[in-house]
Structure 1
Amino acid sequence: MICPVLMCFLLCVASGSSKPTERKTRVHHEEPLSQLEHSDDKNFDYDHEAFLGQNQAKTFDHLSPEESKRRLSIIVDKIDENKDSFVSEEELKLWIKNAQKKHIYESVEHQWNDFDLNNDGSITWEEYRNVTYGSYLDDPLTDTEYNYTHMMWRDERRFRVADRNGDLIADKEEFTAFLHPEDYEHMNDVVVQETIEDIDKNGDGFIDLKEYIGDMYTAENDDEEPEWVSTERQQFSEFRDKNNDGKMDKEETLDWILPADYDHAEAEAKHLLYESDTNKDGKLTKEEILNKYDLFVGSQVTDFGEALLRHDEF
């Protein structure tokens, strides 16, 4: 059985339930540009979400080609920061990064009011704890298979790391770091700590090969091991365990879950540039981008596309 090791588990709200939310809080990798498969042979959905952000990509899905091009033209003018009539790879990368940040901030805004109980513009640890674990705190002796005491302790530890000034009161930026620690360098240590704690079954503070594979795959009966598992064993030996001592320490685990040498936004910018740069001069004109509008934003020919409410920027 395959476990969801390559997914990023985000915090969920436990409001009004009979017990705290049953959730996994471990962060495995940097927040992806899209949860969709990146396969241009099938569709450009990944590229749309990476370029526009997930929410705006859904809006474009219901627009006519003409309206998609009109809106994309306005976006191109915004991407071209130096106003030289070209879009460079760096400008594309910056735009994609900002689109993803906007998605994260919208996620935080969506949850903010659930936790800011007194509407004072900040969230204390007590407010977060009471909303998330209130029912458990009211009746901690209830039989349950979940160790909510441990979950609460882990959340408090992460909250304290996100809280830069140590007052146990989170402003928007600190709460964003708490919910999305993979995007904040000062949260790296706690992200690594959570990862090791979840995978390290023998409690030695490291992740060995058996634990690494066991977090992704559990054999059932006499099932033949999938080929990808053998590939992961090789990955562990050749790339994960850099000092060849048979296990991953904190630094090696950090390189695994938050690799410093790979930038999702940069990779996507290179991809969009390569696919659209007709004259191969290393930069894009508005015409080149509009000619490949289906790659950047997509659209569907619908009867109601033009009737959709338009955002102010369009």
Structure 2
Amino acid sequence: MQLLLLSLIVGVTFAVPPQEKRVHHQRDLSDHVHDDAHGYQYDHEAFLGKEEAKTFDQLTPEESQARLGKIVDRIDTDKDGFVSHAELHHWIKHRQRRYVEENVDKHWKEYDQNKDGKIAWTEYKNTTYGYYLDDEFSDIEDRESYKAMLTRDERRFKAADKDGDGIATKEEFTAFLHPEEFKYMQHIVVQETIEDIDKNGDGKINLEEYIGDMYTRENGVEEPDWVSTEKKHFSEFRDVNKDGFLDGNEVAQWVLPGDVDHADNEAKHLIHETDTNNDGRLSKSEIMDKLEEIKISTITDYGNLLLRGHDEL
């Protein structure tokens, strides 16, 4: 694969439909599909982090290479001139943690209205929904949908609020925003997944609903091969008890796949694709050689990681 280091700052291994994003990979490496046949945006975001991967397209190829070189130097913590699997694994996990922390910090400033270092449910509710639920604004067409969203948010907030005092600490607010990160919140992830896909309201997911969440048939358009594959996965793997439905336990097995270390898998994938001399590690020249083969539009999705100070890394 020649487009790869693009990958290095970003990716994973086989083609899956976009809706497989429902599978929660702990701290998500990327919202993009990990399908190298169609690009390396997943790899970019896994390597740099989601936010940083958005603005690198403003750089020239020369600036991109220079900044990438600085990133590689940061990853090479033992300063031996190579990026090992352990160093790359550590870096990707670091970027995952940074994404969650930055996301929580951004929302924390918005919702902690009284600046007391905590967020009460009333603060969150009023900030998020106050305008939309005000009876004075009867012209808002989506009032009922906002009410449904409010109910769902309140349920999630209460689940995250371990001591039940109606006030979220930083950790509890993190659990509210990123429930897939916390074991005690996994039932919420499962419940919300079922609610999203279960169109007939029977509390479980049938094959039609499962496929319908991923694919909408268009007249005259041939069904993609992956749809047939997903139908097979539903009957052979997802529907464990073979009753034709996915219940809560089966949905949990689908969207919360255990203790898989996706950062580790990504590190292995990137080394496999970039390690031209097969010594199990990456030199800066191997990384740069791959870069030279990548289109500018692809290279430059890296992000603005190095526009920040040293401490930000």
TM-score range, shorter chain: 0.7 to 0.9
Query: Which residue does the alignment assign to 2:289?
Result: 291
Distance 1:217 1:172, change over 3 A: same
* Cα distance in 1 between the residues matched to 2:53 and 2:83: 20
Deviations 1:158-207 (A, max 9, x none): 11222233322223332222122223332211110111223334444322
Query: Which residue does the alignment assign to 1:226?
Result: 223
Query: Which residue does the alignment assign to 2:123?
Result: 127
Deviations 1:112-166 (A, max 9, x none): 3321111222211110111222135432995856244443222111112222333
Query: Which residue does the alignment assign to 1:245?
Result: 243
User: Secondary structure at the residue paired with 2:83?
Assistant: coil
Distance 1:149 1:71, change over 3 A: closer
Query: Which residue does the alignment assign to 1:76?
Result: 72
Higher mean displacement: 201-210 or 291-300 = 291-300
8 A Cα contact 1:48 1:296, kept in partner: no
TM-score (norm. length: structure 2): 0.75
Higher mean displacement: 240-249 or 29-38 = 29-38
Distance 1:154 1:167, change over 3 A: same
User: Secondary structure at the residue paired with 2:58?
Assistant: coil
5+ residue gaps, structure 1, are 9-26, 303-308
Query: Which residue does the alignment assign to 2:264?
Result: 266
CA shift for structure 1 position 238: 1.4
8 A Cα contact 1:125 1:168, kept in partner: yes
8 A Cα contact 2:217 2:223, kept in partner: no
* Cα distance in 2 between the residues matched to 1:249 and 1:41: 33
CA shift for structure 1 position 250: 1.5
The letter for the 2-side match of 1:74 is: K
Higher mean displacement: 108-117 or 58-67 = 58-67
TM-score (norm. length: structure 1): 0.74
User: Match for 1:117 among 113, 117, 120?
Assistant: 113
8 A Cα contact 2:179 2:189, kept in partner: yes
CA shift for structure 1 position 261: 6.3
Query: Which residue does the alignment assign to 1:194?
Result: 192
8 A Cα contact 2:64 2:299, kept in partner: no
8 A Cα contact 2:23 2:257, kept in partner: no
The letter for the 1-side match of 2:265 is: A
Corresponding residue pairs, total: 286
Distance 1:99 1:156, change over 3 A: same
Task: Give the helix-richer structure, 1 or 2.
Answer: 2
* Cα distance in 1 between the residues matched to 2:112 and 2:294: 37
Distance 1:295 1:41, change over 3 A: farther
Query: Which residue does the alignment assign to 1:6?
Result: 19
8 A Cα contact 1:209 1:236, kept in partner: yes
Distance 1:295 1:164, change over 3 A: farther
Query: Which residue does the alignment assign to 2:214?
Result: 216
Alignment of 1:67-216 (within 5 A): 67-139=63-135, 142=138, 146-216=144-214
5+ residue gaps, structure 2, are 1-16, 301-305
* Cα distance in 2 between the residues matched to 1:64 and 1:46: 22
The letter for the 2-side match of 1:6 is: Q
